[in-house]
Structure 1
Amino acid sequence: MRIIENALSDRGSKYAVAGGPVSSADEARAFVKTLCRRKKFAKATHNTWAVLLPDGPLKNDDGESGAGMVILRMLEREGLEGHIIVVTRWFGGVKLGGDRFRRVQDAVRVYLDAMGVSG
């Protein structure tokens, strides 16, 4: 499990991004559960995630409507299968509107760059 805790911030909201290899839906859910055992992540406003698996894509918005699809599209674009990416947001008091999707993209890009995946 790779975690980038201070990936970015915007208007008080703070973002982290985590990821790692998974090979099934159960492993994906277990990954998120393990991440949320860390008190900081358990208290986050949203832990949105996505993964491309052989039997189809999985995503979870965790209340951040549409964010899972943003992650999924980036995974598809990179052809990154069997690797979950979780974008965590701690709400800072200001609604970001459409910018929230750009921040999710930015967080995924930080993770992919750290992994050495081109974009």
Structure 2
Amino acid sequence: MSGFGAGIIIGGRLFRGAGGIAGELAHVSVREDGDLCGNHGCYTTARCNGPSLADDVATAFGRAVAPDEVIALAADGDVSERRWLTDLGGRMAQPLTGFVTLLNPDLLVVDSALGPAPESVVDGLREPSNAGPPP
């Protein structure tokens, strides 16, 4: 869980965009009041990506927690970890709504790096409250 990205397949080929970075989601804004990192409140600065995310989980547990442990706990039904992954999906929902509206894809795939625990992220993506306009 070190980043966010999308592979966009058009006509059976990976679409790279004019600058070669099509599908880069780490710097899509998810919070208007977030820290500046190219954009305000992008995934990277909204504490839902990479090391910041690991820091938040470690704070909640009172110790360092590896991403694999978070996934295993969620897969085993740990309520806190499932909620954390659901919230992650919720933060992803707003920009993905625009992506889906713009490109009308046949399929969205949640990364297999989540192993046995993708349901919580997908639940967050599906929550109706996550599809509305930003506050």
TM-score between both structures, scaled by the size of structure 1: 0.30
Structure with the greater alpha carbon radius of gyration: 2
Higher RCO (C-alpha 8 Å, min separation 6)? 1
Whose strand proportion is higher, 1 or 2?
Answer: 1
Whose helix proportion is higher, 1 or 2?
Answer: 2
